Structures are given as structure tokens and as C-alpha cells.
Amino acid sequence: MPALLFRTRFLLTMAAASLAPALGSVARAQDTAPQTAQASAQNFAAAIAIATSEAVVSRLSPSAIKPYEYLVKDAKEMKGFFTLYQKDEKVWMEIRPEQLEKPFFFSVNVSNGIGERRLYGSQMLGSHMAEFKRVGNHIQLVAKNTKFMAKPGTPQEIEVRQAFSDSLLASVPVASTPHHQTKAILIDASALLFGDIPGYATQLDAAYHQPYTIDPANSSFDKVRADEFLAGFQVNAHFFVPKIAASTGAQNGLVQPSLPTTTPDPRSFFIGFYYSFAPLPAEPMHARIADDRIGHTVTTRYDFSDDVTMKTAVHYVNRWRLEKSDPKAELSAPKQPIVYWLDKNIPEKYRKSVAEGVLEWNKAFERIGFKNAIVVKQQAENDDFDTLDARHASIRWFIGADAGFAIGPSQVDPRSGEILDADIGMSDVYARGARRMINENIGQPLAFSPTHCDFAHEAAHEMGFALGLLQARGEVEMGTREADALAQSYVKQVVMHEVGHTLGLRHNFRSSTAYSLSQIQDPEFTRRNGMAGSIMDYTPFNIAAKGDRQGEYAMSTLGPYDYWAIEYAYKPIDGAREKQELERIAARSNEPQLAYGTDEDAGGSVADPEVNVFDLGSDPLAYFKKRLVLSRELWMRLQSRQLKPGESYESLRNSFDYGFTQFASTVPVAVKYIGGVKFLRDHAGTPRATFTPVAAESQREALALINDSLFNVDSFKFAPELISRLGVDHFDPANSRDISVANRVLAVQVAALDQLMSDPVASRLLDAQEKVADGKKLLSLSELYDALQDAIWSELKSGKDIPRLRRNLQREHLRRLAGALLKPGVLADVRSLQRENAIRLQGKIRTALNKPLSREVKAHLSESLNTLDDALKAPLLRANV
């Protein structure tokens, strides 16, 4: 050790001697020009540091901290929010002392993906309020816990810090000694960002059940940039698995490993991450308290400042900072508009429709005094910024082998709910994309969350159905001007919807009840008012029944609810009267055109038949009837449709399946009437109740409609000439199977049975008697079970043959009937009523077995009778009775 110190001291002395002339120049300059002398002294210090660093570094181990000047020598300097130095493949990030433990905005988005299973490019991931913290010779990237708070300087603030932890995102060694003047240090950006900060390996595991992991050694920077407001890193992250897990066959219901189908080698692929480091607003935006009568996305924090409030949760409306340039003017341009950049990857043919969809929202902002609140800009081919960085709200196209959706997420300042960035992703949207996405999960329930949006995915099915029917009618042909106009209207509608999300609006699935079916068939009316109360609904393509007037196919403008929601979030209000004014705005919630119900109301435990995805009109049952007519019209026309010579039969199959997709999406509308409860968000002061059971006559109408359209013996009959010609894609082995009409029919029927015979429906029917004065006017549980059993087993009374489709349905009903007798935890009233129905069905089957029957039917009824006998005996044996 003494020898090393001696050699270092010797090298420093020799370097100083070699720079003696410069030192003399500095001394002389001090007498004549103090400022020049100071600059020369700084240059001297830097020069001596560089001159000595190479000699010192040659004696240090590779992992030792190096002199700052040595690391940045000959590197390209990029000054900015965090200054960067790049030399070859190496990127150094400078952290000044004043930047330590100072919060900033940190976000990560996916620029490049795999192209399947929701692992797509152009997707926004997450963001944090983060900070750099030095611990010894390491720099930690820490995500601050902003969810819990208390008034600064109080004991409660100390309690909150002690109770809730921050999170460590990454940690890297300090790479350099402090800069001789600024005291800044350097860290290796690759060591910081080549780890799996987003936790993407978890998404890969969920998709493929393979142990993919990130590979820092083969990851790299595609591009880095820095300016006053951003340090951005485009990382090409390599993921790999050293050994592919082999499938062991289905065992104990475990999900088996699978492999990517879109990569050359499934063991290896690259994911593009864009990391942004940006300053937070110096002064947090004034937070606006949310109201549950209006649908806004919110930032929720828990305030422990006092212990006398009923709840600690505080909900802030997520919104952009929008301030008038002239606060006194009735109509003023904003100080800073909301700018949406159209990415250069958007096909040129759609850019006009995309821009129109964005700018449509300016109508709502003009109502509250903002002129040109939203601006659209087109990214040019020579623009080198990435629209996924934190400085550019954007709209981007993306493609996936199985992608058919759009998404409108945003990232916010967690202190106030201020939206700082938003990136809308639009997948392939024209009829090609719509037509390839046949719903293979007919009857599967939608999964809802406040931030998830499947509008474009589901609308693609709607578009496929619309084009199939219009083509069968001879009104629209693929590739024509009319088909292109339909696609353009679809693009605008989807963009309007997703922009609404990025402005802070949630879904509104009750808004479709704002207008009657006759109103929405009037194109002049819908151009002024929209087809629904809100573009934030999932509105289907508006197809008229044959012979009726055809209105707009897609929603082309905002609805009245959209103006109301924007007013609440963005209207400039003086602080002294803000609470009173917001209450005045929210109190309009009982106006019919402002009706609101969101994701949890459509797909949660409350079955409100007025809150649905993809319905239209003030009477959902009437819409359901209309759609069933359209589905049957499509099937009827397909049976007589003549294809052009050489045209593939695959087009027939696609259209045929879209008919079932319509059944699958509209049957739940009618099913929700059974045991349905209207759920409102009114506050005190309105005459309406929070929970109101659906009227008995409406429930009976819905039940009759279901039985007649879904469980009737003549519900599904198709000409063999059509079924035998439903072609396939012969180049795709996965989709070359023969079609099974029975399976498609059963899928829709099973989804309806699962709901109608579920415990939640039974509970609502029983509980409804407590919410009305005369319980006898409600649909009873016994009436529901009797009507279903009589419809499904109608052949026992009529003496008709029982074809395969009917036998499948009867087995499913029998399985649920037996389950009510055997499964633990079944409601007592359900078990007792179904026991009586089982005994009644037992007698009818015995009677039917005495009649002449085909061998298949006799075997089916005998097995059914045996199942009922076993189910009726089992509880007695188990109870030792």
C-alpha cells in the first residue's frame, strides 16, 4: 500500500511539472483579468485531473471508482435534466448533489414487443414519483410511496413514514469520483436500466409459463437523448430462457407451458423499453375532488392528518393542467394546450379520421371557455424524438398476430392527479383485422377494471358482423368506397373514445339509454347529439332492420354526458366557490341524458339491465329483439348467397360465426333482467332510490324472449347445404377444423344457463321482496325455474323427437339441477325448489320412456333418469336418514 501511494504521488508531481507553463500563465492572467484567470484555473484543474487520471486508473481494479474526467473523456455530452455522456456503447448518467433525494417523474413504456398475447409494442406501462438516493457507494432508484399522506410537520406525517414503505426499483454502484467543481458523480446507465425494472418477466410467465429472464449482457441502448425537460433511454432488452420447459400433458388441471409463435427462435427475443426521467411540476396542480355521480379516473390517496373524518380516502380527478391565457375572457386560448402527436407509423389513409376524432373534444372545452384546448400535431419523418417519451402525448399504431384493440392510458402526478403523459395505442382497425377476429370464446364474460378498455377489440366483432350483413344484403362490398367510409367512421369513433380516457373519463355504459331506437335511426339527430349519451359507452354499429331507415353506422360526435364530465373536471372555478360550484354541476346527475353507469355496474354483482356494453336505445329488450332479427337475417341470407367463382368459402364461415357472436353479446342483455336491479348513484335530494328491482312484467318479458329465442326447440336450424360449405383457411392448421354448430349453439346456451341458475340471481330474486311494498308483484324464484325446465324439456310434453342440440342443452340443465341438490353451500330455497322440480322431471321422463323413441333418445332419457335418481338419493344417504 505505501508503494502504491508513493507511485501515485510521484505521478501527480510529474504531471504538475509538465503543466508548469500553464500554471505560470494562470498566475500572470490573475493580475490583468480576474474572470479569465478563474476560467483558466478551472481549465488547469480539469487538465491536471485528466493528465493524472489515466495513470491512476491504470493502477486500479476494473470495479474501482474512476475519476469523473477520465470516464467522460472523448464522450459525447448531452446536457439536460440529467446530463448524459455517451461513448461507443457506454452511457454515463450524471447526478448532481442537489438532484439526490429530489423527486422526479419516472416512466417506462414498451416500444417493441412480441406481437401476441398482449405483449405488443407501443404500449404504456407504469410511472412513479421517484428519486435517487445515495447509500454508501451505491445509488438507489427509489419509487416513493405517494398513496399515504399526512399534513407536513405533524406527528401523523411521522407515523405515515414509519407505517408505509417505498420501493427499490434499481441499484447501481457509483462509477466516478465527484467532479472537481460541481461535485456531480456518474453512474453506468446500463447497470441501472438493463435490469427488469417493469417486471416484464412476470407478464411473459403469465403468457407462456416459461422462465424467461432479462439478459443484461446482450441488452443495449438503441437511442438516448437529453434536454432541459427529459432524459430518455430507448433500451433493447434481451429476454431468454436457457432451456424451454417441456409440456407434460394436462395433469391436475395445471396450465402447461407454451411458446411464442412470432419469433424465429422461441428461446430468445427483444423487448423495447423507453425509460423517461422528467421533472415534476415545480408547484403541484390544484387537485379537484372527484364525485361518484360522474365517471372520472381518479388518483386515490389516504390522508391520516386527523382521526375524525369518516374515511381516509381522498379521490382526485385525473386531468390535464389547463389554464386560460386570459382568465377574464369568456373564450380564451389556454396557456398550454393539450397536444396530441400523431406518430409517423399511423397509415396515411387514417390520419385525417384520427385527427378528427381528437379535435372533436374541442367542442366540450369551448362550452367552458377554452378555444383550441386540444391541438393535433403530426410527427414528421425526420423528427428523431420517440412519441413514447414522457413529453409527448401521442397516438400510435401497433400490430399483433392476435391484436384487435385500442387503449388509452395516461400517467399522472400522484400528488394532484395532473395528467403528465398519455399514449393511445391503436391496433389494425380496418375490416381485415375485424374479419379475422372471430370470437372463439362465445359466452365468456367480459373482465372489467377502471383502466382496461376493450372497445376496439369488441367493436371489431361488431364491424365484422355489420360488414357481413351488409355484404349479404348486397349493400356494401369489401374494398369499395362504402366499406372504406365505414372503416373511417369506425376509426374516428374509437379515437374519440380513447381520447376521452386520456382526458380522464371512465366508461359510461348506461349512456346508451339516452335516446330511443327511432331517434338513433335519424342521421341528422345523431350528428347533433350522438347515438348515445356518451362516446365513453361501447356503441355497436347501428344497423337498421331491413326496410327501416338507416342512420349513422358509428357515433360521430360527443354526447351530452361528455360535455358534463368535461365541465366538472376542467371548468375554471374560483377557489372560494369551488365546492359549491362542483356540487351544482354534479347535482344534474338525475337528468336522463346524463345517466351514468360504469364497468363495475355492467360486469359486477349488481345486474342492472340498463348498463350494458354494445347496446343502443332506451329499451334494451327492444334492442335485443332487433339484434336477434339481424342475426337470423344474416344466417338466412348466407343460405342463399352465391359466391363469385374462385371466392373462398372461408368468408361464409366468418359471417356465420359473427351471427353467434351477436347472440353471445346480446343474450346477456336479456338475462340481466331476471333478478335485475336498477342501481343509481344519486345523492340525497332526488326522489329516486339507490336500488330498484326490475318490474315483474319486464322480467317475464325477458324470460319469455330467452326461452323463445335460445331454448326453443326450433331456435337453431340451418340448411345442410350451408353448413357443409363453411370453409377454412387451409394454410392455417389451427383453423382448419370442421365446424361444429352444436358446440356454437351450446356455448351461447350454457352462458345463459350459468347466469339464470346461479346463486346470485336466486339471491336477488329473494332479496327483491324486501325492497318493494308488494312482493307478490315480483318474479318468483319458482316461476323462473319452472319456466326454464318446461322450455328446455318441452319434448317430454309434445312427444317430439329430441335432436342432438336439444339433448346437449338438457344435459347442461340436468347438471345444474343435480348440482343444486348435491353441492354444499347452495341456498336453502334453491335446493328445496330444485328438489321438487327434479321429482317432477323424474315423472315426466318415466312417462316419455314408455313411448316409441329412437335408440339415442331412449339412452339419453335413461341416463338422465339415472342421474336424477342418484341426485335425489344422495343427500338422504349422506345425512344418514
Instruction: Enter the C-alpha cell of residue 389.
Output: 417519451
Residue entry with cell 380522464: 504
Interval 77-106 mean pLDDT = 97
Q: What is the pLDDT of residue 604?
A: 63
Rounded CA-CA distance 486/490 in Å is 6
Average pLDDT over the chain, rounded to an integer: 87
pLDDT band, very low/low/confident/very high, at 531 (cuts 50, 70, 90) = very high
Place of cell 308483484: 777
48 grid coordinates: 491536471
What sections of 649-694 are H helices per DSSP? 650-671
Distances (CA, A) of 260 to 122, 200, 257, 289: 19, 15, 10, 45
Tell me: the pLDDT tens digits for 658-673?
A: 888 888 888 888 889 9
Q: What number is the average pLDDT over the span 401-409?
A: 82
Counting DSSP H helices and E strands in the chain, the numbers are 28, 23
Mean pLDDT of 797-824: 94
Distance CA 554, CA 519 (A): 14
What residue type is 618 in one-letter code?
S
The cell for 713 is 326447440
Residue 678, classed as helix, strand or coil, is strand
The answer, yes or no, to whether residue 22 has pLDDT greater than 50, is no
Indicate whether 431 pLDDT > 50: no
- Give residue 663's pLDDT: 83
**Three-class SS state of 708:** helix
**Residue 372: predicted pLDDT:** 97
User: DSSP assignment of 752-821, as one string?
Assistant: HHHHHTSHHHHHHHHHGGGTSS-GGGSPPHHHHHHHHHHHHTTHHHH-----HHHHHHHHHHHHHHHHHH
Minimum mean pLDDT among 352-366, 535-549, 553-567: which range? 535-549
- The cell for 722 is 350451408
Q: Binning pLDDT at 50, 70 and 90, where does residue 33 land?
A: very low
**Residues 424, 502: contact at Cβ < 8 Å?**
yes
% residues pLDDT > 70 (the chain): 87
Residue 177 pLDDT class (50, 70, 90 cuts):
very high
Strands 338-342 and 393-398: parallel
* Per-residue model confidence (pLDDT) at position 652: 87
- For the segment 548-570, the average pLDDT, to the nearest whole number, is 96
Which candidate, 232, 192, 187, places its Cα nearest to that of 93? 187
Separation CA 322–CA 333 (nearest Å): 10
Q: What is the mean pLDDT of residues 287-298?
A: 98
Query: What mean pLDDT do residues 808-827 have?
Result: 94
User: Hey, what's the torsion of the CAs at 82, 88, 89, 92, to 10 degrees?
Assistant: -20
CB 149 within 8 A of CB 304: yes
* CA pseudo-torsion sign 717, 722, 725, 731: negative
- Cα torsion for 827, 832, 833, 837, to the nearest 10°? 130
Average pLDDT over residues 108-135: 95
8 A C-beta contact, residue 274 and residue 386? yes
What is the rounded distance in angstroms from the CA atom of residue 544 to the CA atom of residue 152?
Answer: 61
Would the pLDDT of 704 be above 50?
yes
Write phi, then psi, for 767 (nearest 5 degrees).
Answer: -70, -25
Structure confidence by residue, pLDDT tens digits, 59-91:
666 678 999 999 999 999 999 999 999 998 999
Inform me whether the pLDDT recorded for 398 exceeds 70: yes
What is the gyration radius of the CA atoms in the chain, in angstroms?
A: 33
The predicted-structure confidence for 852-869, as pLDDT tens digits, reads as follows: 999 999 999 999 999 999
Instruction: Indicate the DSSP class of residue 119.
Output: B
The H or E element containing residue 185 is: strand 185-188
Position 5 pLDDT exceeds 50: no
Q: What is the pLDDT of residue 875?
A: 60
DSSP state of 826: -
Please report the pLDDT score of residue 113 as a whole number.
96
CB 682 within 8 A of CB 498: no
Q: How far apart, in Å, do the first and last CA atoms of the chain sit?
A: 91
Burial of 475 per CB tally in 10 Å (0-12, 13-18, 19+)? exposed
* pLDDT value for 253: 62
